[in-house]
Amino acid sequence: MKKSFQLTLLFLALCLPHWADAHAVITDYSLKIAPIHANNPAKVELSFNSQIELGLSQVFLVSKGDKHELLQTANGNKQGQIIIHIPPLEIGDYALRFKVFAADGHLTEDVIHFSVSN
Measure the CA–CA gap between 32 and 87, rounded to whole angstroms. Answer: 19
Q: How many domains does the chain have?
A: 1
pLDDT given at position 22: 57
Residue 60 resides in a domain:
yes
pLDDT given at position 105: 86
Measure the CA–CA gap between 64 and 90, rounded to whole angstroms. Answer: 11
CATH of the domain at 103: 2.60.40.1220
pLDDT given at position 15: 46
Residue 85 resides in a domain:
yes
What are the angstrom distances between the C-alpha of 114 and each of 34, 72, 89? 11, 18, 12
Question: Predicted confidence band at 103 (pLDDT cuts at 50, 70, 90)?
Answer: confident
Q: Where is pLDDT greater, at 2 or 37?
A: 37
pLDDT given at position 16: 44
pLDDT given at position 108: 93
Whether the pLDDT of residue 65 is over 60: the answer is yes
